[in-house]
Amino acid sequence: MKRLEDLEKMDWQELETAALHEDIPVPEGLEKRISEKLTARTIVAEPAPKKTGRRILWTAVAAAAVLAAVLALPSVSAREPKDTFDDPQLAYAQVEEAFQLIGQNMAKIINNQ
């Protein structure tokens, strides 16, 4: 039997020749286990089943919906928001009014509990 360092330095042909000349008993059931592993690997490597007509149709519908959404987004973002103010004081007054309304509603909720 060779040492591990010697085996690591050998190429494949030398390893095969050394294995053929050695009288090493083969473990029982090794051939069956190798066959099972190769069969399992073949099954996993098989291509996925082809798409059916229904799946292709739904894929096309989804792609069309995404395309319509993408085309509609620029027109939505191009519109001016309705709640903008040119006057900063008017905007601040609107914010104060909103906070006042929120505070009153929160006070009602807290007092009812």
Q: Which of 79, 80, 61, 81 shows the shortest CA–CA distance to 69?
A: 61
In degrees, rounded to 5, the angle at the alpha carbon of residue 105 between the alpha carbons of residues 102 and 112 is: 150
pLDDT in tens, the chain (113 residues): 567 777 778 887 887 887 777 777 777 888 888 888 888 877 776 666 666 777 788 888 888 888 887 777 666 555 666 667 788 898 889 889 999 999 988 888 888 76
pTM: 0.28
Instruction: Please tell me the predicted confidence (pLDDT) of residue 99.
Output: 92
d(CA 32, CA 39): 10
Q: What is the pLDDT of residue 1?
A: 54
Q: Residues near 39 by Cβ (< 8 Å), separated by ≥ 6?
A: none
Q: Where are the domains of the chain?
A: 4-45, 51-79, 85-113
DSSP-derived 3-state class of residue 19: helix
- Residues 19 and 102: their CA atoms lie apart, in Å, by 84
